[in-house]
Structure 1
Amino acid sequence: MLQHVQLASTPSPPPDNCTTPSELTYQILSCVMIGQFILGLLLNLSVLYIFIFRYKFWKNKSIFLFNIVVADFLLVACLPIKAHHYLNGERHSPNEVVCKIMIFMLFLNRGASIGFLITLSLDRYFNVVHLGRKNFVKVLKNTPQISVVIWLLLLPLTIPTMLRTFECCNSHGRNKETTSSNMIDTFREIVFFIQIIIPFIILVFCTVRIVNRLRKKTVGDQTKLRRAVCVVLSVVFVFSLCFLPCALARAALLFVRIKDKDGAENVAVQVYDSLEVLSYINCLLDPLVYCFCNSGFKNAYINNFCPPFLKEKLLSADFGMGTTTMTTTTTSGGRIVVMKPVNEK
């Protein structure tokens, strides 16, 4: 009888542990991640092939674009492992080393993708709004070594994921043991939100200034302005779809966890994990940014991977940028000669 009372008084484990709160939800998410892995691997391999063997990124000032591809491969490498855990009913790996490495890789991917996308947007902003002035972004773009520096600067922001043991790599709001532990958890969450919120504010600022510049410019060539608008809007689209929903869901999860609302936490965990899986689609959307950012890459990719009946239509389309034109000339022999635009550097 006493043993029965002791068992009954044992508190139930918190819902935010390594087990999935809903088997069906996480099976669906695992299937989505498998699809993301297959498409992401094929797409990014094709992009990498173009950058190295066809476009030669080091000669065309596309170092930052190439680094985004590298960051996407970090994400793609994590997807089958995470899908495997979801299929086995685990939100994260029960192995501490694997769990920390996975979160480290995902933090590094998110930070690198955001960092290089923001740098591209700032480059467009300075080239349009502050045309003719020397700016640090243009200097950085012409210095390949700066990419290494950016990667090294990202490492300190990912170190908190490796500092201490915590349940299922996700303890904030659960661990109330020591002040140092809570400080580490809090710092990790601050890094998560800062790397999304501050870059989004910068993006909105750049977009508004570039659009205003486009509206005020009534004479001269507006091609560069339209291209700049398309670049920053494409980056804003990637942010709005991939990163912002995940950040909002993370904030909601932390709120219900700190308030000890176990029933709501089960729902919040599933919503957060679902939106986190949605954020992984950035490895599929980044090539859209490449095409808007660099018409030379777009032309090289279309020429190598698109079927012949689509090439002419895609090459002649400017996607609202006014960056490409096609001139078709018929010679006396009846042969059609297509004049392609000069690749943008």
Structure 2
Amino acid sequence: MELTTMLRSSNITPPGGGEENSCIVNDQMGPFIVLYILIFAVGLPGSLLSVWGFIQSHRSQQKQSTYVYLVNLLVADILLLFALPFKILKDLGAASWKLMVFHCQASGVIIYISLYASIAFLAFIIVDRYLKDRHTARSLRLQESSFAWLLSVVVWALLLLIMVPNMALPTKEDKVTKYLSCSSLKEKISLHWHTLTVFLNTALFLNASAAVLISSALALKRLLHSHSDPKLWLDARRVVLSVTAMALAYTLSFVPYHVVRTPYTLAQAEVIKNCQTKRQLFLGKESTLFLSLLHVCLDPLLFFNLDAAFRETVRRLFCHSRNQAVDAEQQVVQEVMLPKVLADEDTAV
């Protein structure tokens, strides 16, 4: 009797099928869902305001490299906000099976395209801030808008070349389950390409990080060498503060994620097989992914600080709104007080 019971229990497997899919890693998504909803709720109004601000300031905008990189960063943010609700629905368990598969094949890929586009353009912005203080012939050429647009096209083309095959490569049928792991849908060739994609994107991140680090070091070196000239020291100090602040935000946002990303990919590829290790790596990946996606809420502040025309447009909007509110308040006061004044005058007469 006991032997029969043991044999039956040994044949029971969680949703998803065989032994290789028996480890469920994404059944503790509650806190992450709340965090992703907050990112969407805060990031969407800021990004829409940024779109409006750039459209309104387009005519008065001098086509500089900073403007080009900021616009491309905004495009990456919009793509992220478009794809994020699909991830939220999947993690929430409120999506249909077809929608969950759609997220794995399409919207999830768009999130990572947006993430690495943001990494590249933030790195370009940091380097550009350092170059603005150089005023050499070479730095001026690198700051031409045509060169910035060329770099932007190369970044988008490279990311699409790397990432789009993840949408097109074949997937396999999997048993319907509440806790779908996207890697369980991938055929062997698709899983290999996914692993290659992660390492190529990591290489892009390392190159971008090297550019950020070098720019920060050169800005600091310029500050140390400018003590003898008070004017140069003030200019260098301003550049160092700007570059260092952005570099620190870049590091806090993206470095933790990439520390966890490689071992998590090895777990997806079944190089790491221990279930408890897989669960810990997945939770680490989701925690650090939240930090990486949080930049979409902070980018509008970057647009406001770095783009003068955008800043002036937003200020005019809020000044106009404030003036309208004051006028409306004064009108209400007049409507309330006028009958009383007239009544007092009649009484006096």
Match of 1:322 in 2: none
Write the letter of the residue equivalent to 1:251: T
User: Aligned letter for 2:171?
Assistant: T
Change in 2 beyond 3 A, CA 1:16/1:300: farther
Distance 1:115 1:150 in 2: 7
Amino acid at match of 1:156: L
Are 1:154 and 2:159 matched, yes or no? Answer: yes
Q: Distance in 1 between matches of 2:256 and 2:98?
A: 24
Cross-structure match for 2:132: 127
Between structures 1 and 2, the one with greater helix share:
2
Report the equivalent of 2:247: 236
Aligned equivalent of 1:260: 273
> Any unmatched runs of 5+ in structure 1?
310-345
Aligned residue for 2:343?
A: none
Distance in 2 (alpha carbons) for counterparts of 1:52 and 1:155: 26
Q: Deviations over 1:40-94 (max 9, x none)?
A: 111111112111114647535212211111110111112222111121188x976
**In 2: Cα distance, 1:226 partner to 1:297 partner:** 24
Q: 45, 48, 73: which one pairs with 1:45?
A: 48
> Structure 1 residues 262, 77: CA separation in 2 closer, same or farther (over 3 Å shift)?
same
Relative contact order higher in (CA < 8 Å, ≥ 6 apart): 2
SS at structure 2 position matched to 1:273: helix
SS in 2 for 1:38: helix
Question: Pick from 257, 271, 282: which aligns with 1:246?
Answer: 257
Amino acid at match of 1:117: L
Q: How does 1:174-213 map to 2 (within 5 A)?
A: 180-181=189-190, 183-213=192-222
Query: TM-score normalized by structure 2?
Result: 0.72
Deviation digits for residues 98-144 of structure 1, max 9, x if unmatched? Answer: 32111221122112212222222222333335734355522345665
Return the match for 1:32 from 35, 44, 60.
Answer: 35
Q: Quick one: structure 1 residues 212 and 296, their matched pair in 2 at CA, closer, same or farther if it must change by over 3 Å?
A: farther
Q: CA RMSD in A?
A: 3.5
* More displaced 10-residue stretch of structure 1: 229-238 or 294-303: 294-303
Q: Is the 8 A contact 1:214 1:226 kept in 2?
A: yes
* Partner in structure 1 of residue 112 of structure 2: 107
Give the whole-Å Cα distance in 2 for the aligned partners of 1:55 and 1:230: 28
Amino acid at match of 1:278: L
Read off the aligned partner of 1:42 and give its amino acid letter: P
- Correspondence 1:20 to 2:20: no
CA separation in 1, counterparts of 2:144 and 2:258?
32
Q: Which residue of 2 aligns with 1:288?
A: 301
Identity of aligned residues (%): 22
1:95, CA displacement in angstroms?
A: 4.1
Report the number of matched residues: 300
Larger Rg, first or second structure (1 or 2): 2
